[in-house]
Amino acid sequence: MRALPNDLLALVPQGASATSTTSAHTGDALRASCWPQPLTHGWQCVTTKPGACATPADLPEAGWLPAHVPGTVASAWRAAGLLDIERAPAFAFDDHWYRLRLAGRGAQRLRLHGLATLAEVWLDGERLLTSDSMFVTHDIAFELHEDATLALCFRSLGPALGARRSRARWRPRLVTPPTLRNVRTTLLGYMPGWCPQVQPVGPWRAIELLGNAPFAIDRVDIKTRLDGDDGIVTLALTFVHPQADDAIEARASLMCAGIEAPLRWCAGRPHVGTPADASKRTLTGSLRIPKVERWWPHTHGAPKLHALAVRIGDIQIGMQIELGRVGFRTIDVARGDDGEGFALKVNGVPVFCRGACWTSADLVTLAGTPQQLAQAFALVRDAGMNMLRVGGTMVFESDAFYRLADEHGILIWQDFPFANFDYPNDDAFAATVAREATQFLARTRHAASLAVLCGGSEIDQQAAMFGLPTAQRAQPLFTERLPAIVASERPDVPYVAHSPTGGAWPFSTRTGITHYYGVGAYQRPLDDARRAQVRFAAECLAFANVPDDATLHDALGTIHAHDPRWKNAVPRDPGAGWDFDDVRDHYLRTLYGVQPSRLRYEDPQHYLDLSRAVVADLFADVFGEWRRAGSPCGGGLVWQLQDLRAGAGWGVIDVTGRPKSAWHALADVLQPVQAVITDEGLNGLDVHLINETDQTLGVQLDIVCLRDGTVSVAHVSRALELPARRTERIAAADLLGQFFDFAHAYRFGPRAHDVTIVTLRDAKSGAVLSEAFHLPERTALARHDLGLTATPEASSDGWQLVIETRRFARFVHIVDSHFRARRDWFHLVPGQPVRVPLIPLHASDTNRTPDGEVRAINAMAAVYYR
């Protein structure tokens, strides 16, 4: 075997290690020239009137702003201090130019991963590309003879929106303008009432130069699958250029999970800019891992990933290329005994999917920073969520997004970016969509987290609500073209044509996939969550969720719910005579017995606290109902995960990344080991004990009923074993063994108690695994001296707050201008102190001493600490 040339050092990705006798400095230089080089810095951008500059020669000398790529015109304006997100210019209706000086000589390949939306690419005076989709990656080959200027032009959407393509059978109110159906761009920025009108324009995804070195890497294609209990990895590693004989004669192997298998050279598929007869550019092969450890959603096991690498040559003189980590799992759809349900099985195990609908880590860039993405996924995991849905109004998410989903064990439901419209059906549109879908599925082919692929959001629903019969609603794009592409590119991922879908109406709740807003926008009572017989809610529970005081003060600038700044941030459906503040206020009246309008001006702080508490109650009750034993529901995804502007938005996480009360409620009801209570009326209370882990658990179940929040009037304890992967239902009456009106359903005289508390403990350690609470009367009129105390305590991990109460405290909330409570909006049992870690809001707060207050919605006054 021949020794390998030193150029093979270039195969080592950034941050990976390699075994070689060549110096690390040389390796770094070669690596930089052979892996795709992102063109990030040095860009400028300028805005011009539509059509004012036909070519780069017409561009003005003044007015250019520094720009970062990937990024948008809006992000360049924001960096320059020019963007008011609530009054952003109509970026999509001007022309925008980007430019960058390129230096060097010889053949070049440029890869543009996403241009929003109608774009041209110029090199000096020559136009190299036109693009009409923000979801397509382009490769451009050109010859560079000397320094040149690369220019990108993003043209106004005006002419494209005015061009008549085909007559739409329906016109939704969601999007402005409705002719956006003809343009392949995200709907973010075009939905009044949903989010700020920041229209995405610019190179929103990376732009790269592919290396010119002999071993420059073009692309890596990784496929994984399970064959019985064995994992199979298939690899195609393609270089930009055909390889020399000495490299081809060297031994090449694929390594994963301690297994090594040979790779072979073969003719690679030619790409733009490579000769049609190119050969010996691609290493291919596969590897089998016996009894591979599988990837699981984190609620049901470990999201196990296995390092994948390629070695070329011997250990002493060869190179090792680190290719990231891969996972192995199966995902199947279970339809239920009647064939009309929808639920997922991962590795053959039924999984209750719960989580939220993703919007964007940053509306301005459509990407967010690595830190923003990492924080979001940590909050998703910590809340007990195991699924995120990227809806059709959004975008195809990034590689970083899918990498975090794999690592955190979060299932991803990805809509193709279509929503509400009657889309064109011509050949050109279909070809563009096919290219988008194929590229996305190839890019994410290795992602174990990708769990559901969906044609789009509320398209069939929109047509049905306009009165069209089934035959007239059909769109071959969703029933024929996309499923065929999915079957070819990702056969391991289930495909559904629409969300919602199933039943005589696609939005029926008891068949297939629904968007459930019975409890919520339709203001149905809480028992509708059972009556609706939801099978799978791909969207649910949209409320104007109030952020904490710190966000209201710092980001919104007001705590008053009728301030114009407040109302501007409250989501609303176009054309509706109400907004989602009104929805939340409805439940304040019906569930808590208060008059929101009066409370809002008499005691605005208490109004805010009750507003936060009532959505926490609603979230906990609905998900408790859907997770109970015997529930037909296979999952529920909250609308939405994070806000896109400051204020009382749909998100359970606010625009600054801080959890709201709804997030804390979900964290209390979505854990893998969980107790929930359901009110069964004359049958009393049922306790449902959930164990999603693969281990049988020894537990102690305690049930206690308190009168006046202090006096125990009923109590029972029972030692139990919870089988793995099971949900057990236990009637509280059966445990107590005597009559007690747990639900206050018989009403033989006054209520005997105020609250029932269920505590699930580990049988050995006594540690609390889960708590659940039931209040037979939820009015929030009475307030008491609870005997609350709060004491800051330093620990090795930072500050924590020790909180204790003499009387049952309802929705304890911690308010600190410099810290966020890791646990918040929880009920506190008398005589059982809890320790709540405090997380600094900013790096500058790390050395501060906590100084704040603790509230409860049934407390007469807050308790201060410092």
Phi, psi at 282, each rounded to 5°: -130, 130
| The pLDDT value given to residue 166 | 79
Transcribe 3-52 into DSSP letters. Answer: PPPGGGGGGSPTT-----SS-HHHHHHHHHHHS-EE--SSEEEEEE-TTS
- pLDDT single digits (tens) 384-416: 999 999 999 999 999 999 999 999 999 999 999
The CATH architecture assigned to 37-210 reads Sandwich (2.60)
The hierarchical CATH code for the domain 216-326 is: 2.60.40.10
Average pLDDT, the chain: 92
| The pLDDT value given to residue 267 | 59
Tell how strand 353-358 and strand 635-638 pair up.
parallel
In angstroms, the Cα distances linking 36 to 139, 215, 219, 839 are 12, 11, 9, 39
Given a contact cutoff of 8 angstroms between Cβ atoms, the answer to whether 412 and 447 are in contact is: yes
- pLDDT single digits (tens) 422-437: 999 899 999 999 999 9
Of 146, 131, 51, 147, nearest in space to 99 by CA = 147
| The pLDDT value given to residue 12 | 30
Given a contact cutoff of 8 angstroms between Cβ atoms, the answer to whether 152 and 110 are in contact is: no
Q: Give the mean pLDDT of 127-132.
A: 98
Match domain 673-774 to its CATH number in 3.90.580.10, 3.40.50.150, 2.60.40.10, 3.20.20.140: 2.60.40.10
The CATH architecture assigned to 331-555+630-668 reads Alpha-Beta Barrel (3.20)
| The pLDDT value given to residue 244 | 79
In this prediction, residue 279 has a pLDDT band, given cuts at 50, 70 and 90, of low
Q: Give the mean pLDDT of 617-640.
A: 98
More confident call, 375 vs 3 = 375
Quote the tokens at residue 477: 């794009």
Q: Please report, for the chain, the start and end positions of each structural domain, with discontinuous segments joined by +.
A: 37-210, 216-326, 331-555+630-668, 673-774, 789-865
More confident call, 732 vs 6 = 732
Check whether 181 has a pLDDT greater than 80. Answer: yes
Give the predicted TM-score (pTM) of the model: 0.95
End-to-end CA distance of the chain: 72
| The pLDDT value given to residue 22 | 37
Q: Give the mean pLDDT of 185-210.
A: 95
| The pLDDT value given to residue 247 | 75
Check whether 276 has a pLDDT greater than 60. Answer: no
Q: Give the mean pLDDT of 186-210.
A: 95
Sign of the CA dihedral running 564, 565, 570, 576? positive
Check whether 378 has a pLDDT greater than 90. Answer: yes
| The pLDDT value given to residue 631 | 97
The hierarchical CATH code for the domain 789-865 is: 2.60.40.10
- C-alpha 201/C-alpha 401 separation (Å) is 21
| The pLDDT value given to residue 656 | 93
Check whether 725 has a pLDDT greater than 90. Answer: yes
- pLDDT single digits (tens) 6-36: 233 223 333 333 333 334 444 444 444 567 8
| The pLDDT value given to residue 315 | 64
Quote the tokens at residue 692: 């999603």
Torsion of CA 367, 435, 464, 343, to 10 degrees: -70
Check whether 278 has a pLDDT greater than 90. Answer: no
| The pLDDT value given to residue 316 | 58
- pLDDT single digits (tens) 672-696: 999 999 999 999 999 999 999 999 9
Given a contact cutoff of 8 angstroms between Cβ atoms, the answer to whether 76 and 45 are in contact is: yes
| The pLDDT value given to residue 26 | 43
Same fold flag, 37-210 and 673-774: no
CA 539 to chain centre: 13
Share of the chain above pLDDT 70, in %: 94
Given a contact cutoff of 8 angstroms between Cβ atoms, the answer to whether 771 and 763 are in contact is: no
Spell out where 399-438 has E strands. 411-415
| The pLDDT value given to residue 246 | 76
- C-alpha 490/C-alpha 223 separation (Å) is 9
| The pLDDT value given to residue 272 | 44
Check whether 444 has a pLDDT greater than 90. Answer: yes
Check whether 5 has a pLDDT greater than 60. Answer: no
In this prediction, residue 576 has a pLDDT band, given cuts at 50, 70 and 90, of confident
Torsion of CA 190, 192, 195, 201, to 10 degrees: 20
- C-alpha 218/C-alpha 216 separation (Å) is 7
Of 400, 402, 458, 645, nearest in space to 545 by CA = 645
Q: Give the mean pLDDT of 121-147.
A: 95
Given a contact cutoff of 8 angstroms between Cβ atoms, the answer to whether 379 and 654 are in contact is: no
- C-alpha 478/C-alpha 498 separation (Å) is 8
- C-alpha 625/C-alpha 866 separation (Å) is 40
